[in-house]
Amino acid sequence: MLSELYIKNLAVIEKTNICFEPGLNVFTGETGAGKSIVIDAINAILGQRTSKDIVRTGEDKAVINAVFTELDADVLKTLDDYGYEAEDGVLMIQREISADGKSSARICGSPVTASVLREVGSHLINIHGQHDNQVLLQPEKHLSILDAFGSVEAEKEAYYASYRKLVQLKKEISQIDTDESEKERKADLLRYQIQEIKGAELQPGEEETLENDKKALLNYSNILESLQNAYASLFGNDDMIGAADGVSEASDALSEAAQYDGNIGELSEKLTDLSYQLGDVAQEVSSLLQNMEYDPRQLDDIEERLNLLFKLKRKYGDSVEKIQEYLAIAQEELEGIELSDERLTELKAQEQQELMLARELAEQLSVRRREAAERLVMQITSELQFLDMPNVKLTVDFKKTPLRVNGKDEVEFFISTNPGEPPKPISKIASGGELSRIMLAIKNALADKDNVPTLIFDEVDTGISGRAAQKVGLKLKSVAKNRQVVCVTHLAQIAALGDNHFLIRKDFTEDKTYTNVHKLDFEGRKQEIARIIGTDQITDLTLKNAEEMLLQGNH
């Protein structure tokens, strides 16, 4: 349960420490005193979104600390799942909100994310806020209420898994099952492209080779003249000795000299090697000259091949390698189209099978919901009759829908509060006071399912008074026998039934406003309840009435 709440620099609260106890804890105070700030603080502790605007004016940050004791197994398991440990069975949560908008939270001194804090908080406290009644005015929210009461999580998960698979199959079928003419057009285009690329018989590096051959043909005359000059220089002619012959003669001369002087031997060997190299070069030059041939048609063929490569690169990629990559992709895509009919038949068979399963699971879920609806109607009707709605008749209206994410059911709560009147949608006929009591009854029904140790009701008494208010108070008192209840109220009938009573009061100085929270003793409670039931002034009569209410509420 929530044992202690420390608030510092939150809105108009400078500093306060609230010690909660088991049973029914009630908060009262004049309108505008700051009762909602306490609820805001608890919401912050539970990981809800906060705003820098709630930091007290002139302060750097707001600090909220909460202490929880008597932790149940669900809370301890959740803490353990996320790597936290309650020290000696005590859980401490801290939240800081900076004036610059930054926020941080800790569990037992260790940092925690807002999402984890919300998960932990969901096992600690359930808050029924002032605006929760609006859920009843939104029929689309009624199904979630019924599902929570019916504990149908397993059936919902099984159905959703099948539904999600069905949606995926439909999506895949849609992607394949395009317009037949469009599919054939695409296949024809791919076949043409594949044939064009494969027909070119592209070779890696051939473009560079072709460019080199083209350059050689364009410069045939210069190459031929240069080779002839080189040949003449190497082999000589009638007028001069060639370089190859000259080096050979020099090598022979040095070889002879080396017979008489060993120092010349190394030089002779070098010249001999050079002679052999020149001989090889001379033979290669001679071979090139013999093979030199100019054919204009060869240049035309090269130009034609280069033009083909240019066209293919412009269409499919800027290199031979990229064109080959495009070819592989096109072949794979064409294969997919050609196999799509077979795949489509297979997918449609899977779709029909999954559709049958989804319908079966949706029906199982619907049956569980209808069973839960009967129990919910009985429990809420009993609760509402106790809450001074003796002629109430509640029904859950089911409509069948096509399969969707939550199944095949659309539900809406119908109610009749007067004898002889047929039930009609709650959203259209229920008054504010009736909505408050219906929501209280629903909260009590759901509380029996989730076992959250602390329930908080923020002005659950909206729109009610008199006998109905007394009944609501008695219901809260009854619930508080098994779990901790915190209630913010403006009704004396409910406040008088509290086991613990806190007054939220706003005080003023010359330049600042302060909200303080005081735990009231019997005399303090009598004064506060007299204020609530009184008019402009507290009189002996209102004090006497307040005392009687307190004595009756706690006997």
Can you give the pLDDT at residue 540? 86
C-alpha radius of gyration, the chain, whole number:
46
pLDDT under 50: residue ranges of the chain: none
**Residue whose pair of structure tokens reads 């080096």 in the numeric block:** 247
Q: Tokens standing for 483?
A: 């779990």
C-alpha to C-alpha distance for 445 and 379, rounded to whole angstroms? 7
Cα distance between residue 406 and residue 362, in whole Å: 9
Q: What are the C-alpha distances in Å from 412 to residues 143, 166, 437, 457, 513?
A: 7, 27, 18, 24, 46
Q: Distance between CA atoms of 412 and 423, rounded to whole angstroms?
A: 11
Q: Give residue 497's pLDDT.
A: 94
Return the SS3 of 253.
helix
pLDDT in tens, 396-428: 999 999 999 999 999 999 999 888 889 999 888
The pLDDT, as a whole number, for residue 520 is 95
List CB contacts of 301: < 8 A, sequence separation 6 or more. none
The predicted structure's pLDDT at residue 294: 63
Domains along the chain with CATH numbers? 1-124+452-519 (3.40.50.300), 183-333 (no CATH), 525-555 (no CATH)
Percentages of the chain per state (helix, strand, coil), in multiples of 5: 60, 20, 25
Residues 120/78, Cβ–Cβ less than 8 Å: yes
The residues near 101 (Cβ < 8 Å, ≥ 6 apart) are 51, 52
Q: Which residues of 403-413 are buried (b: 16+ CB within 10 A; e: fewer)?
A: beebbbbbbbb
Residue type at position 554: N
Contact 323, 316 (CB under 8 A): yes
Give the number of other Cβ atoms within 10 Å of residue 261's Cβ: 11
Side-chain-side CA neighbours of 350 within 13 Å: the count stands at 17
Longest dimension (CA), the chain: 151
Coil, helix or strand for 458?
strand
Number of Cβ within 10 Å of residue 375's Cβ equals 12
CA–CA separation, 400 and 411 (whole Å): 9
User: How far is Cα 282 from Cα 105, in angstroms, rounded to an integer?
Assistant: 89
Our measurement of the distance from residue 230's CA atom to the centroid of its chain's CA atoms, rounded to an integer in Å, reads 78
What was the pLDDT predicted at 216?
Answer: 64
Closest CA to 111 of 90, 87, 82: 82
Is 96:104 a contact under the CB 8 Å cutoff?
yes
Comparing CA positions, the residue from 11, 105, 106 lying closest to residue 59 is 11
Phi, psi of 533 (to 5 degrees): -85, -10
| Residue in the block written with tokens 């909260």 | 443
Q: Is the pTM of this model over 0.95?
A: no
